[in-house]
Amino acid sequence: MSLVLAFGVVLLISVSLSGVAARTVLSSALLFLVAGAVLGPGMLGLDNIGPDDPIVAALSDVALFTVLFTDGQRANLHELRENWPLSGRALGVGMPLTMVGIAVPAHFLAGLNWPTAFLIGAILSPTDPVFAAAIVGRTDVPARLRRLLNVESGLNDGLALPFVMIFLATEQGAGADVLWVGVELVLGLVFGVGVAAGVALAWRTKILTAEPHLQPLGPLAIALVVYSACHLTHANPYLAAFAAGSALATMDHVAAESFQPFGDLLSEVTKYAALIVFGALITPQRLSGLSWQDWLLAVVVILAIRPATMLLSLLRTQLTRQERLTAAWFGPKGFASVVYGLLALQSGIANRELVFDVVAVTIALSIVLHSSTDVPIAKALQVEPPDDLPGSRGQAEAGEEASKP
């Protein structure tokens, strides 16, 4: 319960400081990560949560489903067609190169076998735009750069999932398990598309209409049906979530748009809850057990592999040099990598502790580096802080105008 209290307190602080965070290097994600680490068993010990605690599995499951369902609604076919020239390069070239690029030093530096090395590559290949909010969330940043980062991060969580599941099953050593993982993924795809498309078609009839204030509950109901159906049938709920969100946004954009504000808030809450639990699992004992090669691997992943693979994938595009460098740098490891790391920790693979520790250090370094550089880079792109934030110049000027007689 102390962890719940801590979550509420940190959430309140984070909301209260969100205006400051939008203009400075302060990071809400970092607040939750640090709070979990301080209150967890490694430091104050106010909450002795462990990797095998049921809340870890339950929270990871619900949070990842929620985020993938919300992300899927940003990946409708119209958006994909419009933004595919750049996003297709990032996803079709940059992401596979990132997986391989991470796996190679994971094998030679950390001494992991190839299946486990590729598992780390799959876990750390997704990106999270939350830590680049000063770039992605501003309408005066070049639209093609924002769309590139948004579409890439919205899709790569779901695209990385099959690789994570397959490499986990491969490392567990049973060929039948790999085949069954494939069946689960296909079933998840069928459930997600089938339920969302069926409901969207039903909503087109004149009989089934929803009151405007109840419209956001429609997609939520679809998510609940898909989630429960997948768990009852052992279909993969995560791929189903992403597929359902994408199918709904494609076939009924009105329903998807009505759900978006509520869905974004819901996914943010679950993200932060997972981060505070994730932080509680990062103990000094874990960090002290890592070798210098493991630490070097985390640094190489952030400073070398992502920038190099992204720059390579964006060669000969219409992006300016500054835009390409910005896109290459903002490959923050965020929520999806957190949950995939927790899945690896709860699996039965031989090196699960080392996999989690390497992933945890990489994510922690990424949160610190990327969330502290988004505002300076936004300024370099000649983007001013939002004018409607408390204490901002625009709001002060508006107050002065209002006070004039």
pLDDT, tens only, 284-335: 888 888 899 999 999 999 999 999 999 999 988 888 888 888 888 887 777 7
Residue 24 lies in a domain: no
Strand, coil or helix: 112 = coil
**Is 164 domain-assigned?**
yes
- Domain assignment of residue 19, yes or no: no
pLDDT in tens, 194-226: 999 999 999 888 787 777 788 889 999 999 999
Residue 31 lies inside a defined structural domain of this protein: no
For residues 339 and 63, the answer to whether their CB atoms sit within 8 Å is yes
Report if residue 388 sits inside a domain: no
pLDDT, tens only, 35-74: 888 888 878 877 777 777 888 878 888 888 888 898 788 7
Cα gap 243→196, rounded to integer Å: 8
In a domain, 162, yes or no: yes
Averaged pLDDT, 251-275:
86
Let me know: does 116 contact 349? Beta carbons within 8 Å.
yes
Q: How confident is the model at residue 102 (pLDDT cuts 50, 70, 90)?
A: very high
Instruction: Give the three-class secondary structure for 332.
Output: coil
Confidence of residue 106 (pLDDT cuts 50, 70, 90): very high
- What integer pLDDT is reported at residue 118 of this predicted model? 95
> 3-state SS of 335-399?
HHHHHHHHHHHHCCCCCHHHHHHHHHHHHHHHHHHHHCCHHHHHHHCCCCCCCCCCCCHHHHHHH
Q: Report yes or no on 394 lying in a domain.
A: no
pTM summary value: 0.80
pLDDT tens-place string over residues 335-387: 788 888 888 887 878 888 899 899 989 988 888 887 777 667 766 665 444 44
Asked if residue 221 is part of any domain, the answer here is yes
pLDDT at 130: 56
Q: Is the pLDDT of residue 246 over 50?
A: yes
The answer for residues whose C-beta is within 8 angstroms of residue 359's C-beta and 6 or more apart is: 120, 123, 124, 337, 340, 341, 344
Provide mean pLDDT across the span 386-405: 48
pLDDT of residue 20 exceeding 80: no
Report the candidate in 335, 385, 299 with the shortest Cα–Cα distance to residue 26.
Answer: 385
> How many domains are contained in the chain?
1
What is the full DSSP assignment across 210-228? --GGGTTHHHHHHHHHHHH
Q: Mean pLDDT in the chain?
A: 81
**What per-residue confidence (pLDDT) applies to 398?**
46
Q: What is the pLDDT of residue 129?
A: 57
Cα 350–chain centre separation: 26
The number of C-alpha atoms within 13 Å of 66 and in the hemisphere containing its C-beta is 21
303: CATH: 1.20.1530.20
Phi, psi dihedrals of residue 60, rounded to the nearest 5°: -60, -40
Asked if pLDDT for residue 14 goes beyond 80, the answer is: yes
Highest mean pLDDT among 104-108, 153-157, 257-261: 104-108
Residue 89 is part of which domain span? 55-382
